[in-house]
Amino acid sequence: MLLVSASMGAGHDGAAHELARRLAEAGHRARVVDLFDAAPRLIVWLWRESYRFQLRFAPGVYERAYQLYYRRSRSWEWTLRSLRRITGRSLLRWVDQAKADVVVSTYALGTLILGELRSRGELEVPLVNFITDFGIHPRTVHPSVDLNLTVHEVAAHDARGYVNAPVIATGPAVSPRVRVELPRRADARAALGLADDDRVVLVVAGSWGVGNHLPETVAALACDPRFVVITMCGRDERLRRKLLAVGHGRVSGWTSDMPRFLAAADVIVENAGGLTSMEACAARVAVVSFRPIPGHGRENARAMVRAGVCAAPATLDELVEVVDELTSDTARRRDQLVAADAMFAREPIDPIVEIARMPPPRHR
């Protein structure tokens, strides 16, 4: 099995490596590659940094671009053809080196490039699109993909509106560290210096620490004496220092020990609907999406609310009310946790293994 990811945030890589781990554990050979290793460094740097810049400093521009690409255009088709020419040779070489029976993509751009290769007959083995987001954009799917896998039936329903190939809701691919191997709540709280009856709120901004008005969000929660607030700043040292300076709650930078924080938490407040949200659902922590980032963040929030696994308050006052409700033993909290728990009833690798064993269908 060859899994194609991309080093853009943590979500795509996290899903790819977890799928590879499960496949290897089941006795299959699995290799993860980074799409960006197939492209010149300058192009990768421009792609990644322009994305990061827009999210931080020009979110309106990113939102308009996201909406623009709901429609096919000559400029988009030209861009995709160019990227196929740039990366295609390396991708096909990796497929041959891995002797892959199936290729799995966890990154939308990789899916589109591989889909083009499949449609041209250059990729001869089945192509699986593992969609890591709840929100489905037309550019997260491709008509020549053989099988699409999603994290929830809501996402599967939306994906079926764009493609004719099978779409299966398998649930997220998250590490057992945030589910079956999660530390005991009491032990996690003791290690973090938290009391058993604290109402613990994690405010997270992804691995890049991206988001608008995060200090304001943290202040609204941290100034409420009912809550103990811990802000996870990712790799954004400037945000971490700013929050430490004002003294709003506890602050953490990048950590590899997220399971401990999740085990100790009652609620996470996030803004992207990415990997941490999926991990929180796995860890049975209530999820709140507040002021989601443009584009996929807003799309994810809307889909997660439809799925019943997330709350999305619109104002700071509503945020405090929702967090109060979700840190207490309420029907709303119980319903949300039950809906989130149901996402993990299936094994995500089963359809991948099944299609790898089938005779490859004709490319479309």
- What are the residue boundaries of the structural domains of the chain, listed by start? 2-171+346-357, 177-344
pLDDT, one tens digit per residue, over 222-244 is 999 999 999 988 777 787 888 88
Residue 105's DSSP bridge partners are 4, 129
**Given phi > 0 = left and psi -120 to 50 = alpha, else beta, which region is 284?**
left
pLDDT, one tens digit per residue, over 90-148 is 999 999 999 999 999 999 999 999 999 999 999 999 999 999 999 999 889 999 999 99
pLDDT band at residue 364 under the 50/70/90 scheme: very low
- Euclidean distance between CA atoms 260 and 273, whole angstroms: 20
Q: Is the pLDDT of residue 350 over 90?
A: yes
pLDDT at 70: 67
Nearest to 293 by CA among 217, 364, 361, 348: 217
Q: Is the pLDDT of residue 206 over 90?
A: no
Question: Three-state SS for 325?
Answer: helix
Average pLDDT estimate for 177-201 = 95
The yes/no answer on whether domain 177-344 falls in CATH 3.40.50.2000 is yes
**Given phi > 0 = left and psi -120 to 50 = alpha, else beta, which region is 137?**
beta
Class at the top of the CATH hierarchy for domain 2-171+346-357? alpha beta
pLDDT, one tens digit per residue, over 66-83 is 677 667 777 788 889 999
**Side-chain half-sphere exposure of 326, counting CA atoms within 13 A:** 28
